[in-house]
Structure 1
């Protein structure tokens, strides 16, 4: 399949995302007060720190007890005004940890499920379109379309799940530890695809990871969470440590410790 190259939109301004929410579940409480203006932001922290809960709230899969979620001028959730936009109307793409591919559909059926029309990238006024064909080619799955999903490798499944989310033309892409289930070799092969989505499609991403290496490669900004609170936020190079190959726990500025 031959298509025109996808233009680079890495420098396009990102739509600000406001996440100002409180949520309690049993003994755990999440209180997040963030305005996200970078195009690619990582949520980093140990298990149980609130990373997945935050994504679920933005996606509309978990309702906060109080607060506001806003993307630019669009209000997705406002407790005081009783606004709670349904998940399918939020224009948010979500890739969960388990990928949630449909086993009864082939790759084509999975990636085209919920697909919207070809679109112009966010913030782009050049007339170029992000087409279905360009997404398939970018992620190198155009030759896999007739394959059943149970015949795919782990890396291929990951790329199919990512393509399916992008086909919905989201204003924001949520990735919940997309590489956690892959071995080191596969992670190294999938990371460049995430970088290409960031640089060539211009789709804003909120990215959950335990890996400092992933965060430094993919994210412009990182928010470190611990016990449902922001411990520190900033540029990954300033917030996260330099990871050595033999490193055991990682410690970032401010005293937060986790494994990679």
Structure 2
């Protein structure tokens, strides 16, 4: 699947100029509020008619079609369920009004865990339940592409934690290409297979999630406070003391209990601000996770900080430290170091399922 998007549109005081070709999987449009993310998905959906547009999904032009013929599902920030209809009636609304047979109902209900909700009305649902129903309604419209515009932004942290696994299942089990808007970097790191960084109506960076997240230059655009890269890992063992031992390309990693059987593959986000560097392997520390690494690049910002890109096995993580510390350690590309990470520094929300290869 490829989605080819070329847009030109003038808003008052703002111009959208976007050119990008996206692969399958889940592509996150990441950027600050007002950067143009929602305008892009609205143009793809046909809710915005740009001054100039060429939108091609797998060789088929969408921009010259009305919205109802684009075969695009849309999940908004608020669920927008029909309050007078039951969950089952909301789910089947699109095929019923089009006079089509409802297909895949059982699979969608099972995928999203909403079987117990079918007879309820939206007023009796939690925020997370409403969003799962909204996703199900979009899926049952039989779309070729799913658009999700900040679907978790209105939820509290508990409800986000509830729904994230369902979005991962949607990404991994349906094969449906997804264009996902967010300005929450931990959420993006957990879900995205591809990231497009949008700033002032333009694409500033585009590429595989692991590459974008571990690039110090891109981290400046995405926000230093939340900067962090992802490691792939596999559950090796569930320890008796409540820790899970993971195997990574750089060595073992111990984290607070992660649900899953040995052998399960994961993606773990490691925040740059939680990584401490040492030239020699430290001893006498309480931190369990000490990963051998090599400095790949340093990126100095305008302030006193430095972002260090580290090679750990065949992957990369970031460390954020002061320029003074970098100078004291004589850091430079090629220098070997040890990356130290406290087990409790990685939150449960930073651990998610690994997307399928390819």
CA distance in 2, matches of 1:54, 1:18: 12
Structure 1 length-normalised TM: 0.80
Kindly report which structure 2 residues correspond to 1:79-228, keeping only aligned pairs within 5 A, or say none: 84-115=64-95, 117=101, 131-228=104-201
CA distance in 1, matches of 2:52, 2:82: 34
Question: Is residue 221 of structure 2 the alignment partner of residue 256 of structure 1?
Answer: yes
**3-state SS, counterpart of residue 103 of structure 1:** coil
Q: For structure 1, which runs of at least 5 residues remain unmatched after alignment?
A: 1-14, 78-83, 120-130, 243-250
- Report the RMSD for the aligned CA atoms in angstroms: 1.8
CA distance in 2, matches of 1:108, 1:173: 20
Deviation at 1:117?
4.3
2:58 is aligned to: 72
Deviation at 1:238?
2.4
| Alignment coverage as a number of residue pairs | 221
Question: Alpha-carbon deviations, 1:59-101, whole Å to 9, x = none?
Answer: 0000010130011121011xxxxxx211111000001112211
Structure 2 length-normalised TM: 0.59
**3-state SS, counterpart of residue 203 of structure 2:** strand
CA distance in 2, matches of 1:252, 1:184: 29
Greater strand content: 2
Contact 2:185-2:222 at 8 Å conserved across structures: no
Question: Is residue 212 of structure 2 the alignment partner of residue 239 of structure 1?
Answer: yes
CA distance in 1, matches of 2:219, 2:122: 43
Q: For structure 2, which runs of at least 5 residues remain unmatched after alignment?
A: 227-358
**3-state SS, counterpart of residue 62 of structure 2:** strand
Question: Alpha-carbon deviations, 1:28-86, whole Å to 9, x = none?
Answer: 11111001113210000000001000010000000010130011121011xxxxxx211
**3-state SS, counterpart of residue 117 of structure 2:** coil
**3-state SS, counterpart of residue 93 of structure 2:** coil
CA distance in 2, matches of 1:158, 1:20: 30
Question: Is residue 9 of structure 2 the alignment partner of residue 44 of structure 1?
Answer: no
Question: Alpha-carbon deviations, 1:133-161, whole Å to 9, x = none?
Answer: 10011101122111011110011001000
Match of 2:42 among 48, 56, 61: 56
Question: Is residue 8 of structure 2 the alignment partner of residue 28 of structure 1?
Answer: no
Q: Which has the higher contact order (CA 8 A, sep 6+)?
A: 1
CA distance in 2, matches of 1:257, 1:201: 29
